[in-house]
């Protein structure tokens, strides 16, 4: 049986993540408040952002940029700016 959370991104009850993916307070906040569906959406945006900006996850500045974008996307309703990308209408 999957665990459910009230997803603050989707604003509804939904299946949660199976385990905490990121260490620390941010990871705990994501685990407690973000659904698997919202996390999957973020991963797609994250991949686009990494590719567009040619980020390297070994670089601490690049990881900080990704974390800032992730927090903005999941908790502050900020969209990730990807040059040349036009989102589909929902």
Q: 3-class SS at 16? A: strand
This model's pTM is above 0.75: yes
Tell me the CA distances in angstroms from 50 to 25, 55, 56, 70, one per residue in order: 23, 5, 8, 12
pLDDT tens digits along 43-76: 999 999 999 989 999 999 999 999 999 999 999 9
**Residue 89 pLDDT exceeds 80:** no
Lowest mean pLDDT among 21-25, 26-30, 81-85: 81-85
Of 25, 22, 60, 61, nearest in space to 42 by CA: 22
């Amino acid at each position: 049986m999957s665990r459910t959370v009230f997803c603050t991104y989707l604003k509804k009850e939904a299946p949660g993540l199976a385990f905490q993916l990121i260490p620390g307070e941010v990871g705990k906040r994501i685990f407690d408040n973000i659904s698997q569906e919202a996390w999957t959406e973020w991963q797609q945006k994250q991949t686009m952002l990494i590719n567009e900006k040619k980020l390297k996850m070994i670089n601490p500045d690049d990881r900080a940029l990704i974390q800032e974008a992730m927090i903005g996307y999941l908790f502050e309703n900020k969209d990730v700016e990807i040059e040349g990308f036009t989102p589909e209408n929902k």
